[in-house]
Structure 1
Amino acid sequence: MIELSGLTKRYGEKVAVNNLTFTVHPGIVTGFLGPNGAGKSTTMRMMLGLDNPSAGDVRIDGKHYSQLKDPLKYIGALLDAKAMHGGRSAFNHLLCLAQSNGIPRGRVREVLDTVGLTAVAKKKAKGFSLGMGQRLGIAGALLGDPEILMFDEPVNGLDPEGIHWIRNLMKSLASQGRTVFVSSHLMSEMALTADHLVVIGQGRLLADTSMTDFIRQNSRSYVRLRSPERERLLDVLHQAGIPAVEAGDGALEVDGTASERLGELAAGHRLVLHELSPQQASLEEAFMRLTAESVEYHAHSDRPRSDHAGASPPEQAPGWGDGWQQRRKGA
């Protein structure tokens, strides 16, 4: 279990993490979401004692990270897949970690096999691809067989098979009763992996809830209806006191009424339905809606306008596509 209480980090006048309080529970995969610059990496670094908080507290199974003897046996983490000595082989990189935490040498071979790197165990890490580096970082997190695991963007560089593997690995670890905390910008992957979500924006806690409740609370759910007898369907809905909104493609949209009820109503009036489909926003849509006011950087696709009609657009700096700008919110 990871417990944060009033966790705060300041860099001069900049507040990177602002009074965060939440608990990461065992037995489930907890997703950690937030826009760029929200404070996710800083928060995870403070959890591992890599940065000291300006205020507040973080406890790993009731202890500060600095109080853990052989910490890899308590908590394993992947924060940066490149955080390794490139001149060491994969085996020796893990062996150094193992020796520093009193972990048997045989465990190195076990985790190399788990992540699929046995065949390249003697090769130097500097020659690894990004995906291989990710696998080696995951092996390091698993090395001490810890009860708590933290992953920051674990699918970076992985091919589809690797993504499927790490997704199932995290679910398997959680099913064993372990605490699994994962940060990612890939909403589609997080939707398939996480059971619970912690969402922050500009260093503040925005949500701490289940995946299902998060999407429900931050999106519109409705039912689409389509019938060749559209006008009669509208009359039936009106008589039942059910308001419907006309969609642009000829369908009707109904809020607040279950699809089962609508299907039974249509059947009772012998109405033919060509569509009866509950609509639920994706995790990405719900996330964008919740964090809209917390995004620090915005990109705009409008082509720059000239002050004079017919004038050519101004020259742009090399490397920037036409019409793209990046600006700090509020600047």
Structure 2
Amino acid sequence: MIELEGLTKRYDEKLAVNNLTFTVRPGVVTGFLGPNGAGKSTTMRMVLGLDHPTSGDVRIDGKRYDQIEDPLRYIGALLDAKAVHGGRSAFNHLLCLAQSNGIPAARVHEVLDTVGLTGVARKKAKGFSLGMGQRLGIAAALLGDPRILMFDEPVNGLDPEGIHWIRTLMKSLAAQGRTVFVSSHLMSEMALTADHLVVIGQGRLLADTSMADFIAKNSRSYVRVRSPQRKRLLDVLHEAGITVVETGGGALEVDGGKAEPIGELAARHQIVLHELSLQQASLEEAFMRLTAQSVEYHAHSEAPGGTWAQPVPRGEWGADWKKGA
């Protein structure tokens, strides 16, 4: 378990992390989300003792990181897959880590096999592709068979097979009762992986809730209905006191309702339905709505003729460019 209490980090005038308090619990995959510059990497570095908080505290199973003997046996982390000596082979890189933490050399072979790098174990890391480097970083995180795992952008550079593999791995680790804390900008992948979400913006906690509750609270849900007897369906819905929004394409939308009562109502009146579906926002849409006022970096696009187009709406944070660029 990872526990943060009032965690704050200031760099001169910049408040990178602002009084964060939350707990990452075992048994679930906890997603850590936020726009670029929100303070996610700084927070994860403070968990590992790489940065020292200005105030507040962070504990790993009740201890500070610097109080843990053989830390790889407690917590494994992937923060920067490039943090490896390029002249070392994958095997020797992991062997050095193992020896420094009292981990048997046999474990090196096990994790190399787990991440699919056995065939290149003796090759130097400087020749690795981005995806191979990610796999090596994941192997290092798994090396001590820790109860707590922390990953920053773990699918970066992985192909579709690799993405499916790491998603399955994280879910299986959580199912074993381990604590799994993962940060990613890939909303579609996070939606498939995480059970719980911690969302921050400008260093502040914005949400600490389940995936389902996060989407429900930060998005519009409605029932979409289409029928060749549209006018009759409208009359029936109005008579039942149901508010309907008419949209293009002949569809009707009923806010906040459930599909079953509408279908049953239509059946009682012998109205044919061509569509009856519950519509809900994606994780990406819910995230952008919540963090719209917390985005620090905004991109602009150049319009034809050399003039600058309007700024991307707040929440479109995919480009990590300088403010006002």
Do both proteins adopt the same fold according to a TM-score greater than 0.5, normalized to the shorter chain?
yes
Rounded Cα–Cα distance in structure 1 between residues aligned with 2:165 and 2:321:
36
Q: Identify if the C-alpha distance between structure 1 residues 195 and 168 changes in structure 2 by more than 3 Å, giving closer, same or farther.
A: same
Partner of 1:99: 99
Matched residues in 2 for 1:203 and 1:326: separation? 18
Give the match for residue 275 of structure 1. Answer: 275
Instruction: Name the residue aligned to 2:197.
Output: 197
User: Deviations 1:74-101 (Å, cap 9, x if unpaired)?
Assistant: 0000000000000000000000000000
**Are the counterparts in 1 of residues 115 and 139 from structure 2 also a CA contact under 8 Å?**
yes
Quote how far apart the aligned CAs of 1:65 are. Answer: 0.2
Contact 1:300 1:326 in 2 (8 A): no
Corresponding position of 2:23: 23
The one-letter code of the counterpart of 2:163 is I
SS at match of 1:85: coil
Contact 1:221 1:255 (C-alpha < 8 Å) held by counterparts: yes
In the alignment, the residues of structure 2 paired with residue 229 and residue 91 of structure 1 have an alpha-carbon distance, to the nearest angstrom, of: 68
Task: Work out the CA distance in 1 between the residues paired with 2:277 and 2:136.
Answer: 44
Q: The residue matched to 1:298 in structure 2 has which SS?
A: coil
Contact 2:297 2:320 in 1 (8 A): no
CA separation in 2, counterparts of 1:314 and 1:254? 42
Aligned AA for 2:238? Answer: H
1:299 deviation in Å? 1.7
TM-score (norm 2): 0.94
Deviation at 1:303, TM superposition (A): 2.3
Partner of 2:241: 241
**After the TM superposition, which residues 181-192 of structure 1 pair with which residues of structure 2 at under 5 Å, given as runs?**
181-192=181-192
Q: Deviations over 1:103-152 (max 9, x none)?
A: 00110000000001011110000000000000000000000000000000
* Cα drift, residue 298 of structure 1: 1.4
Counterpart-to-counterpart distance in 2, 1:186 and 1:152: 11
Letter paired with 1:328: K
Q: Which residue of 1 aligns with 2:256?
A: 256
Residue aligning to 1:146:
146
Residue by residue, what CA displacement relative to the aligned partner does 1:207-252 show, whole Å, maximum 9, x if unpaired?
A: 0000000000000000001111111111000100001000112100
Superposition CA RMSD, Å: 1.6
Q: 3-state DSSP class of the match of 2:43? A: helix
Task: Tell me, yes or no, if the aligned pair for 2:15 and 2:203 is still in contact at 8 Å.
Answer: yes
* C-alpha contact 2:90 2:124 (8 A) present in aligned 1: yes
Q: Which segment is superposed worse, 115-124 or 291-300? A: 291-300
SS in 1 for 2:51: coil
Alignment partner, residue 313 of structure 2:
none
Question: Which residue is 2:315 aligned to?
Answer: none
Q: Which residue matches 1:45?
A: 45
Deviation at residue 278 of structure 1 after TM alignment: 0.4
Amino acid at match of 1:250: G
- Share of identical aligned residues, percent? 82
Which one has a bigger Cα radius of gyration?
1
Per the alignment, residue 121 of structure 1 pairs with: 121
Instruction: Return the offset for 1:256.
Output: 2.6
**Structure 1: gaps (5+ residues):** 305-311, 316-323
SS at match of 2:4: strand
Q: Which residue of 2 aligns with 1:221?
A: 221
Do 2:244 and 2:254's aligned partners in 1 also have CA atoms closer than 8 Å? yes
1:73 corresponding residue in structure 2: 73
Task: Provide the secondary structure at the position in 1 that maps to 2:62.
Answer: coil
1:58: which partner in 2?
Answer: 58
Q: Is the 8 A contact 2:90 2:123 kept in 1?
A: yes
In structure 2, the partner of 1:90 is: 90
